[in-house]
Amino acid sequence: MKNTAKDIIKYLINGNNKYVNEHEQEFFEKLKDAQSPSVTLVTCSDARVQTSIFGIETTDELFVIRNIGNQVLSNFGSIDYGIYHLKTPILLILGHTHCGAIKAGMSNYINESFDIIKELNHLAIPLKMVKINNNDDQESIWIKAVEQNVDYQIRLALTKYSELVKQGNLTIIGMLDDFLNIYKKDEGRVIISNINGENNKKKLMNHKLFENLSEELKNKYFINW
Ligand SMILES: [Zn+2]
């Protein structure tokens, strides 16, 4: 797709024309009155992370908030809208392998624009909490930081929504989009890393949320920390 602006626009318009032709009026009829998403999704702006990873028609299913580093603090207004107004039963924080925001947050980013610095500064707390072992290489520190950040964003979300969680009206889930297969569970698989603040693998796997999943499937979605 990458080329001149003129080529990109042509590509987008042709794509939209194809989309229009492929969707019947019935599809849009359902969207007429209001939105009714099931999930408030906070994810990174990284172009490699897309809602198509869920393999479902995501129109009207996902209320999506995106920023660098899948952060909640800078977008609590939008998240509030998804939770208080649209009443989605799930708040999903989706991080991903090789997150550039996390890498930048771990390096010296003083030469970035003021607004980039401001957003990256919010990552300082989770990045300080990463436990580094002597034999950790850069790759494992990076992925630990991605996990830590998702855990931290969930902790922040719980400061606002813990009452809804307690009442059973909201579940906050952390996932990692592993398009690089860092976790050796296949490229593109999401790894479930946190539920309502809990990140212990055994407890996660036995969580009642996954009662309907086979053991075989469960083994593909959780990793040993
Ligand atoms: Zn990212």
pTM: 0.95
* Structure confidence at residue 1 (pLDDT): 65
The rounded Å distance from CA 144 to ligand 1 centre is 14
Ranges of the chain with pLDDT below 70 = 1-2, 224-225
CA of 95 to the centre of ligand 1 (A): 7
Write the CA distances from 69 to 31, 46, 166, integer angstroms: 30, 8, 27
The H or E element that residue 17 is part of is: helix 5-22
For residue 103, the model assigns a pLDDT of: 97
Q: Where are the domains of the chain?
A: 1-33, 34-221
Query: What is the distance in A from the centroid of ligand 1 to the CA of 180?
Result: 13
Distance from the CA of 133 to the center of ligand 1, in angstroms? 24
**From ligand 1's centre to the CA of 147, what distance in Å?**
12
pLDDT score for 160? 97
CA of 59 to the centre of ligand 1 (A): 23
Question: 94 C-alpha to center of ligand 1: Å?
Answer: 9
CA of 118 to the centre of ligand 1 (A): 16
Residue among 177, 160, 67, 192 at smallest CA distance from 122: 67
Homologous superfamily of the 34-221 domain (CATH): Carbonic anhydrase (3.40.1050.10)
Q: In the chain, at which residue ranges do the beta strands (DSSP E only) sit?
A: 39-44, 62-67, 90-96, 171-178, 189-195
Q: Which of 92, 96, 119 is nearest to 44 (CA)?
A: 96
pLDDT of residue 3: 85
